[in-house]
Structure 1
Amino acid sequence: MSDKKEAAEHATIVDLIRNDLSRVAEHVRVDKYRYIDVLHTNKGNILQTSSEISGKLPTDYQKHIGNILDAMLPAGSITGAPKDKTMEIIHEAEGYDRGFYTGIMGIYNNGELNSAVMIRFLENDGQGTYFKAYRQGSFLPCHRRRKLV
């Protein structure tokens, strides 16, 4: 928590996400800033630096949930800033539609949305299976002999 570079990166990401939420909500605020969160997995616990950001959606938000999510994507934590110019440059450089990559996935149940940005996942386009990962910055074909679970 004392690393200056990590603190600066976290501050930038929080600001980007706050800005994304401001596109669709009012009274956006950072409720809890830079704390250690414990994620429980079947392989043990993972410690993650987190922040909580909230805002007030319109009262009829459920009728427009798709538009609301679309207005915030791709997430500012993926694009960096300035978001619109960055997306323009990415579109020109890549020359193809990213599909689901860097979109979101989630479960909406009983009025609660739990979601995550898709930075690592497998996708089958009918011609092959591809591992798409943010860190590598490329899409790598997977061997078809591998068993997917």
Structure 2
Amino acid sequence: ELKVGSSSPERFLFLKKGIIETRPIKGTRPRGNNEPEDKRYIYELKNSIKDRAELNMIVDLERNDLGRFCEYGTVRVKEHAIVEKYAKVFHLVSTVTGKVRKGYDIVDILRATFPGGSITGAPKIRAMEIIDELEPTVRSIYTGTIGYIGIDGTMDLNIVIRTFIIKGRRFYYNVGGGIVEDSEPYAEYKETLDKGLALKETLEFFLYKNLSKIKNFN
């Protein structure tokens, strides 16, 4: 039996009244200990050539994916490189939208877009082949998608990040980062720790508050 708890900040696909939206995330900075530190990290993120280049690359990939099933000329970047604030991190986010062509359904959309480009990299197919070659274990639900598909044709799906799973008596969560030519190993490692901090603290609090119950957890 598998239990899943997800607090993903990233929207993979949102579909309503024929309009499709995806919101890729690229670029992360930790929250500061005070407002001046927050402002410094926001400035760093906004002005990071590396992070903006990564986001530009993925936005282009997502535009291409949406173009496979959207009406010509309707795929647009609605917002680009917006800084969003979360409990433990800042993220650089863009929004890409389009109008779905008649004759294309949700299955067609998923075939054209899954898995999300922000967690595969580009070029998508070759990046996935390299991931398969190098990663020693399968990802399971991590970097997949959770959400709903309505009978009215609506859909809202996330990217499975900031998500923990429970198998038996063990809790697991995955974190990762995008590797590009100018990545710095320690900075990428530190970024994964920043991304996992909110989940880590949440689980530690849960374990502390429920220690007596967990001793008998099946």
Mark yes or no: TM-score above 0.5.
yes
Higher normalized strand content (fraction of residues): 1
Closer, same or farther: CA 9–74 of 1 in aligned 2, 3 Å? same
Q: Specify which of 53, 62, 68 is matched with residue 96 of structure 2.
A: 53
Counterpart position of 1:6: 51
2:167 counterpart of 1:121: no
Instruction: Show the counterpart of 2:123.
Output: 82
Secondary structure (helix, strand or coil) at the match of 1:12 reads helix
Instruction: Give the C-alpha shift of residue 87 in structure 1.
Output: 0.7
Counterparts of residues 32-43 of structure 1 (less than 5 Å): 32-34=78-80, 36=82
The structure with more helix, counted as a fraction of residues: 2
Q: Which amino acid counterpart does residue 86 of structure 1 have in structure 2?
A: A
Please give the TM-score of this superposition, normalised by the length of structure 1.
0.67
Cα RMSD of the aligned pairs, angstroms, is: 3.5
Tell me which of 141, 161, 178 is aligned to 1:100: 141
**Could you tell me how far apart the structure 1 residues matched to 2:141 and 2:113 are?**
14
Q: CA deviation at 1:3?
A: 3.6
Q: Decide whether aligned partners of structure 1 residues 34 and 97 sit closer, same or farther in structure 2, where only a CA change above 3 A counts.
A: same
1:17 corresponds in structure 2 to 62
Give the residue type in structure 2 aligned to 1:133.
V
1:6 partner SS:
helix
Per-residue CA shift, 1:77-100, capped at 9, x if unaligned? 111111101111111223544222
What is the aligned residue count? 137
Q: Which structure carries more relative contact order (alpha carbon 8 Å, separation 6+)?
A: 2
| Ranges in structure 2 where 5+ consecutive residues have no aligned partner | 1-45, 178-191, 194-202
Cα-to-partner distance string for 1:18-61 (whole Å, 9 max, x where unaligned): 1222333342522424253666x7x6xx8654333222323244
Verify the 8 A CA contact 1:23 1:72 in the aligned structure 2: no
Give 1:130's match in structure 2, choosing from 167, 172, 193.
172
- 8 Å contact 1:102–1:118 — kept in the other structure? yes
Q: TM-score, normalised by structure 2?
A: 0.49
